[in-house]
Amino acid sequence: MTGHVLKLGDVVPNFVSDSTQGQIDFHSWLDGSWGILFSHPADYTPVCTTELGRVQTLHKEFAARGVKLVALSCDSTESHLGWINDILAYNKLEEFSYPIIADPNRDVATLYGMLDPDEKDSAGMALTCRAVFIIGPDKRLKLSILYPATTGRNFDEIIRVIDSLQLTATRKVATPVDWKQGGSCMVVPGVKQEDVEQLFPKGVQVHEVPSGKVYLRTTPQPE
């Protein structure tokens, strides 16, 4: 079963699937907001239990950024609903507020190229890897990360990335290595030096380098 290769900037494929919160028509569910679709290999497995619990812990952080969350694996809705009780208990949580999509036929997993060839269920069917798809309000793919089943994700990094994506979508800046919210930004190369003052009222520092080229320009994070 081969997966579709989703490229950055592609409009993500729509699908209609059952979930723990009823049927989801994905494009309608996104409804013009930012969204994260993330998959896990299987319910009732250890790493996944920690991951979905962590996402719930960070739920208000995502909500504050206008980001909708939805999880997915190849298990049934009934399995998801039972497993949520374990997630709540293990992670000492009171509520589980985002839906988990059921994809037993691997329809969505195939559509999004989420299947992990090294991880199989008891019937020999490929399971989903730990995929993260960040989708913008235009329904286009802004970022994807694929982790193997053995490596749990760092959702603080996903929030950091959301902050960068949302900032750079509307301002002519890029975020440097290890950037965090409130940190200094890089002016994108396409901005002409004569336009810098108008675009960046907080000021821009040009960093001299041996090449003599003017391309390393930093500015405080724009409002």
Q: Any idea which residues carry the catalytic annotation?
A: 48, 138
Count how many Cα atoms sit within 13 Å of the Cα of residue 101 in the half-sphere of its side chain: 25
Nearest-angstrom CA–CA distance, 196 and 114? 42
Residue with tokens 């793919």: 141
Q: Which of 138, 162, 167 is CA-nearest to residue 61?
A: 162
* Cα angle, residue 35 at apex, residues 56 and 13 outer, rounded to 5°: 130
Structure tokens at 203: 């000021």
Phi and psi at residue 191, to the nearest 5° = -80, 125
Could you tell me the sign of the dihedral formed by the alpha carbons of 22, 25, 30, 36, in that order? positive
